[in-house]
Amino acid sequence: MHRIEAISREIMTNGFRCRQCGACCRGDEQTSRVIVSPPEIDRIIKATGLERNGIVVPYPEFIESDKGGRFTFEWCLRNEGGKCIFLAEDGQCSIYSVRPWICRTYPFALDGDTITISECPGIGEEITPEEADALATCLVKRQEAEEEEENAVLKIFSSHTIPMGKTVVFDSRGMWSIHG
Ligand code: SF4
């Protein structure tokens, strides 16, 4: 069976319909981490006109380097008042057309060939075969994008030295020093 078809069938078996409750967009920075890659950040900048620093913060789990610096590997969308900054007052996503993969595919994710499912009140609801196919296709594209990002980050990481005492983020575009 084709991979997307197998994933689609599993989604159909579980059932899913977004209830537009916005629950997956709420939570503090510990419970709601919407990870975004550089290409996704670019799309959001283009759509909103916001500056990068107004959109993302470093992934909040840092690793200490042996020279007194610390580093992390990802960016997360900013979270204010217990919700993603792009969750509008009406409960809708204000950057819907450029929302990240993680939002497009929630509550599903792929771990290798295994589907993982996060908590969501929409699980168990009816989904059409076409919707399940579209979601399965998104999941595979998300996984490919994540693998591409991960490989590029590892190359960047192995070719840079973390400056003494600095906090940095590694992504596929380089090493970003964090100030303040
Ligand atoms: S980007 Fe949109 S869908 Fe994703 S967490 Fe923020 S408000 Fe929700």
User: Does residue 82 contact residue 28 with C-beta atoms inside 8 Å?
Assistant: yes
For residue 117, what are the β-bridge partners? 108
Per-residue pLDDT of the chain (180 residues; tens, 9 = 90+): 699 999 999 999 999 999 999 999 998 777 779 999 999 999 999 999 999 999 999 999 999 998 889 999 999 999 999 999 999 999 999 999 999 999 999 999 999 999 999 999 999 999 999 999 999 999 999 999 999 999 999 999 999 999 999 999 999 999 999 975
In which domain, by residue range, is 121 found? 3-178
Cα separation, 8 vs 21, in Å, equals 23
Report CA-CA distances (Å) from 87 to 26, 77, 119, 124.
Answer: 8, 11, 19, 24
Report CA-CA distances (Å) from 176 to 33, 39, 50, 78, 128.
Answer: 19, 15, 18, 17, 43
Cα 148 to ligand 1 centroid, rounded to whole Å: 23
Q: What total number of domains does the chain contain?
A: 1
Helical (H) or strand (E) element with 155: helix 129-158
Cα 159 to ligand 1 centroid, rounded to whole Å: 33
What does 37-63 look like in DSSP terms, one character per residue?
A: -HHHHHHHHHHH---HHHHEEE-S--E
CB of 86 within 6 A of ligand 1: the answer is yes
Cα 13 to ligand 1 centroid, rounded to whole Å: 26
pTM of the model: 0.93
